[in-house]
Amino acid sequence: MGSATSCLTRTSLGAALLAQKVSELRVAGRAWQPTETDAFTALVVMVPTMSEYLASWRDSRFVAGRASAQRDFVAVSRLADIQDILSGLQVVLKSVTPRINTVDAAQGAQLAGWLQNLKRYVGGI
């Protein structure tokens, strides 16, 4: 019985610690105010990675079937991640579009169109 009690105590302590950390993350998340630099960094880092996400989907069991050696994203297609990321990037881009327009409005519109077209393409697969 001692072992079961010890395991239960560790589980309870683990659950309490998890709840505490979740609470701390909520507070920190609500307090965080992203900067313009954060927004541009997200766009610069995430937009080029779309090809990696598409390659991951291409090599997945959703496309290659049993021939796939890839073992991640078995339950949910990588396309769901791509759609979510593109939606987030559209929100980020919208927040910095006024700043982009002061430098090159045509390029800003081109990027917005590219994100929309990619999202539409992925949604149609």
Q: Which domain holds residue 60?
A: 34-123
Copy the structure tokens of residue 95: 């927040």
pLDDT in tens, 71-107: 666 556 778 888 999 999 999 999 999 999 999 999 9
Q: Are 38 and 28 in the same domain?
A: no
Same domain assignment for residues 69 and 119: yes
Task: Write out pLDDT tens, residues 41-68.
Answer: 999 998 888 888 888 888 887 777 778 7
Q: Are 1 and 58 in a shared domain? A: no
Query: What secondary structure, in 3-state letters, does the chain show?
Result: CHHHHHHHHHHHHHHHHHHHHHHHHHHHHHHCCCCHHHHHHHHHHHHHHHHHHHHHHHCCHHHHHHHCCCCCCCCCCHHHHHHHHHHHHHHHHHHHHHHHHHHHHHHHHHHHHHHHHHHHHHHCC
Task: State whether 110 and 49 are in the same domain.
Answer: yes
Q: Are residues 75 and 104 in the same domain?
A: yes
d(CA 95, CA 97): 6
What pTM was computed for the model? Answer: 0.69
- Of the CA atoms within 13 Å of residue 24, those in its CB half-sphere come to 6
* Same domain, residue pair 67 and 77: yes
Map 43-54 to HEC letters: HHHHHHHHHHHH
Whether 112 and 73 share a structural domain: yes
Total of domains in the chain: 2
